[in-house]
Structure 1
C-alpha cells in the first residue's frame, strides 16, 4: 500500500468532527479565495521562503514557475498545511491555515483543497473505481451508489471510462495521473494544487494530462500549478508568478510575463526554458 496515500486517508477518517469555519474571519484577502502574505520558512539556518505574497481569486488558474529549488513546491505544501511556515499569513476562503492545529481542523481544511502530486499515490490493491469512491464514502459520507455514479462521470471526464475495473499497475503513468486528478475532483474541492504533475511522465503521455488540466481551468476550477511546461502555463494561466531563491521576482498576466518580462532574471529563465521546450518537442517528434 502506498504509504503517503494510506496516511492521508487515515488522517481523513480518524476524526469526524468539523472545524467551525464561521468562527474564522473572512475579511482577510477580500475577493481572494487564496491569500499568502509575507510567508517565511526556514529549515534550520537555511531560508527557503523569504516573504511570499500571493493571491488567487475564485475561478482563476495561476502558475508558479522558476528554477528547481526556488521554493515553488514548498509554497503549495504551505497552502494545504503539509508544511508550517515560521511567519506570515495563509488564508483559504477566510480560513487561517496556520491556525489549524488539530486533526479535525486540518481535515476540514483539506476537504476543500485538492492536491495532485508528482507521484500518483493511488492505492495499488484497489481498482480505479474504488480509488475514486473510498474517500467520498468514508470522509464525506456519500452512499456507495452516489460515489460510484460520481466516479464514473469523472472517469469519463478524464477519458478513462473503460478503466473503472482496472488496477493502477495495469495503467500507464499518464493514465494513473488522470485517475489521481479524478480522485481529487471526487472530493469537490474549492481549490486544486498541481505539483509538477507531468514531471514523472513519459513525453508521450504529458499532453493527455495537460489537456485534462486545461479543461478544468476552462470550466472555472480554481487551480494553482507548479510547472516546468512553459507553453502550457502561458496558455491556461490568468496570472503567473516567477520565483527564485525563495522570493517572487515577478508576477503578471501570462501575456505580460511571458512576452514582456520586466526583470532580467525572468527573461533569462524564460529564454532557457523555451530552449528546453523546443528540444523536448523535437524529441517527441523523433
Structure 2
C-alpha cells in the first residue's frame, strides 16, 4: 500500500492496512526502568516487523522517548529484554559492541545535532568515512544521492546555520540514512520546527516508510501517525494501554483512556497539523 496516497484520508477514519507477514526485526519484552525510584517504564512489550512503520503515541511523560533510548542503548532498563534482529541489546557492553549496534539503528532526535563548523556534505560523510571505512569519493557520492532524496541537492556546500529548521532536520535524516541502518528511530522530530516546515519533514519520513524502511516514531502528529503507521501503540504512565493497526486504534479505540486522548488530539490536529502532500 502506498502511504502517500493515504494523505487525503480523514483523521477519523484512517484506511485499513493490508495484512503483513514479515519477520520481527525488533522485539521488546517486559521492559522496566525507573529514575531515582520513580517508575518510567512498567512492563513494555512491543514487536516491530521488518519493513513496518510503527508509531508510539501518548501524553507527555508517558515513557515514549525512553523506549527509544532503551532500544538504542542510550538508557539501560532494569528488567526485560530487547532484541534487534536476534541481537540482545542489553548484552552489548563493550564500546565496539555498542558501536556495531548503532551502525544498525539510526536515531533522529528532536534537535538536529549537526556539526555547525562543517558543511552539509561533510556532516553526511564524516561517519561513513570514519565508522564504515568508506572512501571520500564513495561517501560523497552517497551523500549527494541522499541530499537529492530529501530535496536538498543544492545545499551540499551550505552550512547548518544557513538552513531553516526543516532543512536541518532533513539533513539530519539524510545523515542517518548514510549509515544504511536496518531500523530508524524518530523522536518527536517535528516538535522544534515552525509549523510551515513540518510537512517537509513528514513527507520525507513518509516516503522512507513507503520504501520499506523499518522505523519507530514517537510523535504528537496524530494525523501523520494515522497515515503512516502499520501499527500504533498508545502509552500512559509507562504502560502500553492499547495497540493495534492504525485503522482500528484511531477509528475504533477499545480503551476509554485512548478515546479521551484521541478526542483531545483531534481538536489540536484540526488547528495546525498538515497532512502530507499527495
Per the normalisation by structure 2, the TM-score is 0.90
Deviation at 1:45, TM superposition (A): 1.5
Matched, 1:96 2:88: yes
Name the SS of the counterpart of 1:187 in structure 2.
coil
Deviation at 1:91, TM superposition (A): 0.4
Instruction: Measure the CA separation in 1 of the matches of 2:138 and 2:132.
Output: 11
Matched, 1:250 2:242: yes
Deviation at 1:146, TM superposition (A): 0.5
- Give the 5 Å matches for 1:43-122: 43-122=35-114
Name the SS of the counterpart of 2:50 in structure 1.
coil
- CA separation of 1:96 and 1:281: change in aligned 2, threshold 3 A: closer
1:212 to 204, 223, 230: 204
Instruction: Measure the CA separation in 2 of the matches of 1:280 and 1:153.
Output: 32
- Where do 4+ consecutive residues of structure 1 move more than 4 Å? none
Name the count of aligned residue pairs: 253
Structure 1: gaps of 5 or more residues: 1-29
Deviation at 1:264, TM superposition (A): 0.1
Deviation at 1:66, TM superposition (A): 0.2
Deviation at 1:34, TM superposition (A): 0.2
- CA separation of 1:37 and 1:162: change in aligned 2, threshold 3 A: same
Q: Is the 8 A contact 2:221 2:273 kept in 1?
A: no
Deviation at 1:127, TM superposition (A): 0.1
- Give the 5 Å matches for 1:1-286: 31-281=23-273
Deviation at 1:44, TM superposition (A): 2.0
Q: Is the 8 A contact 2:52 2:212 kept in 1?
A: yes
Q: Is the 8 A contact 2:105 2:185 kept in 1?
A: yes
Instruction: Measure the CA separation in 1 of the matches of 2:71 and 2:225.
Output: 20
Deviation at 1:169, TM superposition (A): 0.2
Instruction: Measure the CA separation in 2 of the matches of 1:280 and 1:103.
Output: 43
- CA separation of 1:281 and 1:142: change in aligned 2, threshold 3 A: closer
Deviation at 1:278, TM superposition (A): 1.1
Higher relative contact order (CA 8 A, sep 6+): 2
Deviation at 1:229, TM superposition (A): 0.4
Instruction: Measure the CA separation in 2 of the matches of 1:125 and 1:281.
Output: 33
Instruction: Measure the CA separation in 1 of the matches of 2:158 and 2:173.
Output: 16
CA offsets per residue over residues 13-49 of structure 1, 9 Å max, x none? Answer: xxxxxxxxxxxxxxxxx93100000000001210000
Name the SS of the counterpart of 2:69 in structure 1.
helix
Instruction: Measure the CA separation in 2 of the matches of 1:194 and 1:63.
Output: 9
Structure 2: gaps of 5 or more residues: 1-21
Instruction: Measure the CA separation in 2 of the matches of 1:185 and 1:225.
Output: 15
Name the SS of the counterpart of 1:111 in structure 2.
helix
